[in-house]
Amino acid sequence: MTADKTMTADEAVGRLESGMTIGIGGWGSRRKPMALVRALLRSDLTDLTVVSYGGPDVGLLAAAGRIRKLVASFATLDSIPLEPHFRAARQRGELELMELDEAMFMWGLTAAAHRLPFLPVRAGLGSDVMRVNPTLRTVTSPYADGEELVAVPALTLDAALVHLNRADAHGNAQYLGPDPYFDDLFCEAAREAYVSCERIVDSEEFATAGGPQTLLVQRHCVTGVVEAPGGAHFTSCAPDYGRDEAFQAAYARAAADPAAWREFARRFLSGDEEDYRAAVAECVREAS
């Protein structure tokens, strides 16, 4: 009998500590573990190193002053190109950044997952990624080609936070959308991984929803499973739901103005996840 790893979002975040390196799955404004991020905002965790293909997860944590250092290739809301809080934090000079190319980022996570100190890549050569990250080193191929390549350091994570469509109580998790993003890699690169999902199901239900290749995350990497319906809102979680474009636009508008942002945070981020869902539902009723 394997362990029941179900817990609440607050219990998952309660196991984290300030100063940790936290990887956040998804991509841009797509399948972000927003319920876990909101739980993190309710906690007093701070001084975090956040590793993310950045979206509103980065924006919310930056706005709340929780990020000491960000490791990222970009931060975007996809349908709105620039993440407003990320932008503001950078322009205030508040965000220490390790800016990496997207492929460097992937190979850094892969190196961590494989317990390697680095992996060699061509990406980064000649670019200012090398200038703004003075600790990056190159490595020379020991073979006849003698190529000099970038040695991307392992991006080892203390914890990973990801959101998938389905999971069982043991930590196996299934994605049903078109793109796995890098959620399995985040979990494998982390000492502990917390998986939120739209619905916790019996393991036997997995086969009715999709083929074996949809079983993206395996339980041996997973510490906690959180049932969080709507847990990626307002980012997309295909096929369960698309991005809430109206809400995202409201988020971006509020983020552009300190007073509007205080009101947005009071209305949507001051309570628990149930309060959040109720506030979003009320917002939808007002708009219709």
| Contact pick of 6, 8, 102, 247 for another protein (by CB under 8 A) | 102
Show contacts with another protein in window 63-92 (CB under 8 A): 72-76, 81-82, 86-87, 90-92
228 near another protein, rule: CB under 8 A: no
CA distance 222 to 216: 12
Residue 174 is a binding residue for another protein (CB under 8 A): no
DSSP 75: B
Q: How far apart are CA 214 and CA 87, in angstroms?
A: 35
Is 158 a residue that touches another protein (CB under 8 A)? no
Q: Is 149 in the site for another protein (CB under 8 A)?
A: yes
Binding mask 117-146 for another protein (x = CB under 8 A): ----xxxxxxxxx-xx--------------
Structure tokens at 177: 């959308």
Q: Are 247 and 283 in contact, with CB atoms under 8 Å apart?
A: yes
Whole-angstrom Cα distance, residue 139 to residue 235? 39
What is the smallest separation between the CB atom of 106 and another protein, expressed in angstroms? 6
Stretch that binds another protein, among 179-187, 227-235, 242-250, 259-267 (CB under 8 A): 179-187
- The CB-of-258 to another protein minimum distance in angstroms stands at 17
Q: Which is nearer to another protein, 21 or 73 (CB)?
A: 73
Q: Which residue has the tokens 């407003």?
A: 84
Q: What's the min distance (Å) between Cβ of 54 and another protein?
A: 8
Nearer residue to another protein within complex by CB, 101 or 227: 101
Q: What is the dihedral of CA 34, 39, 45, 49, to 10 degrees?
A: -10
> Which residues make beta-bridge pairs with 50?
22, 70
Q: Is 16 or 62 the residue whose CB approaches another protein more closely? A: 62
Whether the Cβ atoms of residue 70 and residue 268 lie closer than 8 Å to each other:
no
Q: Does 181 bind another protein (CB under 8 A)?
A: yes
Tokens representing residue 171 in the block = 């930590």
Q: Rounded CA gap, 263 and 93, in Å?
A: 24
Alpha-carbon distance 119 to 69, whole Å? 22
Query: Residues 23 to 42: which contact another protein by CB under 8 A?
Result: 27
Q: How far is the CB of 37 from another protein (least distance, A)?
A: 19
Q: Does residue 29 contact residue 243 with C-beta atoms inside 8 Å?
A: yes
Nearer to another protein, 126 or 142 (CB): 126
Task: Please give the residue ranges that form the binding site for another protein (CB under 8 A).
Answer: 27, 54, 72-76, 81-82, 86-87, 90-93, 99-104, 106, 121-129, 131-132, 147-149, 178-182, 185
